[in-house]
Amino acid sequence: MKKHFLITATEQESSNYGVRFFGHFFENKKDIKVTLFYTVPRPPAEWEDKRTIEGERRRKAQAKQYQAKGQKALDAAKVILGNNGFKSDQIATKVQTRMLSKAGDIIHEGSKGKYDALVIGPRGLSWFEEAFDESVSKEVLKKKYDFPLWLCRMPDLERKNVLVCLDGSDPAYRIADHVGFVLQDEKKHRVTLLRIKKDSTDLKTADIFEKALKQLTKNSLPDSLIDTKEIEASDPAEAILEEAERGKYAVVAAGWTGAGKGTLQRIFSGSNSYTLFRELEGASLWTCY
């Protein structure tokens, strides 16, 4: 099945972790399409009664410089994907003059474009926080957007496999479904379903695994590539971070709830998801609500 991803690019080539992770992650690139996206600021506006021909000339020149800077960033990102086996006809580029905030423009593009996921690197994490904490973006966030996010802080490109964290919530099953969809044509990565329980009286694990397995196998992911693991721990977030490091997973997948409630801590359900957002390194975080 064909897949289409939106990836943000940065002018600092060394910080293009999202692009690098994406290019390296897939072994089978045949049915994948990518749109590389860069949003540029508008030149400072002048008051109507103070506009001059010279001022307008400067604004146009500055706008042209912004566009050129954005296109240069996209071209560099395209080279990274090409070096990782993507063909030029699989990659589209889009420079957009800022309409809202940087975060708002990217979220809006992700929503209207019906992408299968939005991929951002470490610089994108700051605007991701702004998207939920700054009032300028609240109007955008009132609109439902249901695309998964891939947060690539500092991924270790030597890693492989996906750790899916399950807590019995609907977002957890949705991220399991996303993992199955993304990996349906991949043989490079195994999937481990992880259930953290706080004590031995928790008997829900079997049902949770069964429901998550259905989400994976309905996407034609073979049973032979799926493992399950149960850990008893008082601190689920810490246990997930330890397991991600121990297993050298390329991806940790976890759901969240509460989008649009105002601050990042409330968007991520409780402290567990927020800890993953802030502290996970080596692996990329895939998440959805």
Which range marks the domain in which residue 237 is found? 162-288
> pLDDT tens digits for 14-62?
678 999 999 999 999 999 999 999 998 877 665 555 567 776 777 788 8
Same domain, 145 and 171: no
Average pLDDT over residues 167-189: 94
Cα–Cα distance measured from residue 120 to residue 105, given in angstroms and rounded to the nearest whole number: 14
Cα–Cα distance measured from residue 70 to residue 77, given in angstroms and rounded to the nearest whole number: 11
Same domain, 39 and 145: yes
Residue 156 forms part of a structural domain: no
Q: Which of 279, 225, 212 is nearest to 252 (CA)?
A: 279
Six token digits for residue 250: 């390329």
Same domain, 146 and 167: no
Average pLDDT over residues 154-174: 93
Please name the helix (run of DSSP H) or strand (run of DSSP E) that holds residue 6, with its range, or none: strand 3-8
Residue carrying structure tokens 């490091």: 245
Same domain, 177 and 146: no
Residue 157 forms part of a structural domain: no
Six token digits for residue 162: 């996906």
Is a pLDDT exceeding 60 seen at residue 215? yes
| Of residues 268 and 246, more confidently modeled | 246
pLDDT classification of 198: cutoffs 50, 70, 90:
confident
> pLDDT tens digits for 126-147?
655 655 554 333 444 444 456 8
Six token digits for residue 228: 């399950």
Looking at residue 48, what is its pLDDT? 53
Looking at residue 136, what is its pLDDT? 34
DSSP for 68-115, please give it: HHHHHHHHHHHHHHHHTT--GGGEEEEEEE-SS-HHHHHHHHHHHTT-
Give every CB contact of residue 44 below 8 A, 6+ residues apart in sequence: 59
Domain count, the chain: 2
Same domain, 216 and 237: yes
Q: Which of 182, 149, 176 is nearest to 163 (CA)?
A: 176
* 93 touches 74 (CB < 8 A): yes
Sign of the Cα pseudo-torsion (102, 107, 113, 119, in order):
positive
Average pLDDT over residues 233-257: 91
Same domain, 222 and 279: yes
Same domain, 239 and 120: no
Cα–Cα distance measured from residue 285 to residue 45, given in angstroms and rounded to the nearest whole number: 39
Residue 186 forms part of a structural domain: yes
Same domain, 137 and 19: yes
Looking at residue 231, what is its pLDDT? 94
Same domain, 57 and 109: yes
Check which CATH number belongs to the domain holding 115 and give it: 3.40.50.620
Same domain, 187 and 277: yes
| Of residues 8 and 137, more confidently modeled | 8
Instruction: Give how far Cα 221 sits from Cα of 78, 135, 179, Å.
Output: 29, 41, 9
Q: What is the DSSP letter of 1?
A: -
**Taking CA 165 as the corner, what is the angle to CA 160 and CA 167, rounded to the nearest 5 degrees?**
170
Looking at residue 132, what is its pLDDT? 52
Mean pLDDT of the chain: 83
Is a pLDDT exceeding 50 seen at residue 262? no
Cα–Cα distance measured from residue 124 to residue 106, given in angstroms and rounded to the nearest whole number: 10
Strands 162-166 and 91-97: unpaired
Same domain, 134 and 190: no
Looking at residue 272, what is its pLDDT? 63
| Of residues 18 and 289, more confidently modeled | 18
